[in-house]
Amino acid sequence: DAKTTQPPSMDCAEGRAANLPCNHSTISGNEYVYWYRQIHSQGPQYIIHGLKNNETNEMASLIITEDRKSSTLILPHATLRDTAVYYCIVSPYGGATNKLIFGTGTLLAVQP
């Protein structure tokens, strides 16, 4: 079973920041938080991951609370092409398998 809880859907206005929350209250000390997204009819795409520090890359920022029980993915300036299902996943980094257990994610709809 997925170890994360996400809202099933969210809306965001084009050009505004999209803030996607994720709860992972049972996260273990060796588990990272990963975010992937899946645009319709495509395979999932890696966005970002982190352990306890905030992370930023060209796609997004990841804010992890100090107790690591929740996190927020931030898309700073959402575009229509960011409409997708966003998955928050916790998993050990570089584990024996490195398989990812997906939940049902959050469907982000960016509105014009």
Partner 1 sequence: DTGVSQDPRHKITKRGQNVTFRCDPISEHNRLYWYRQTLGQGPEFLTYFQNEAQLEKSRLLSDRFSAERPKGSFSTLEIQRTEQGDSAMYLCASSVNRDEKLFFGSGTQLSVL
Residues of this chain that bind partner 1 (CB under 8 A): 2, 32, 34, 36, 41-46, 49, 85, 87, 93-94, 96-105
CA–CA separation, 70 vs 84, rounded Å?
21
The contacts of residue 54 (CB under 8 Å, 6+ apart) are: 61, 62, 63, 64
CA–CA separation, 112 vs 68, rounded Å?
34
Cβ proximity to partner 1, 3 vs 14, nearer residue: 3
Cβ proximity to partner 1, 14 vs 49, nearer residue: 49
- In the complex, least distance from residue 36 CB atom to partner 1, rounded to whole angstroms: 8
- In the complex, least distance from residue 13 CB atom to partner 1, rounded to whole angstroms: 25
- In the complex, least distance from residue 47 CB atom to partner 1, rounded to whole angstroms: 10
- 84, 38 in Cβ contact below 8 A? yes
- In the complex, least distance from residue 44 CB atom to partner 1, rounded to whole angstroms: 5
The sheet carrying 70-75 orders its strands as 18-23, 70-75, 61-64, 55-56
Cβ proximity to partner 1, 94 vs 112, nearer residue: 94
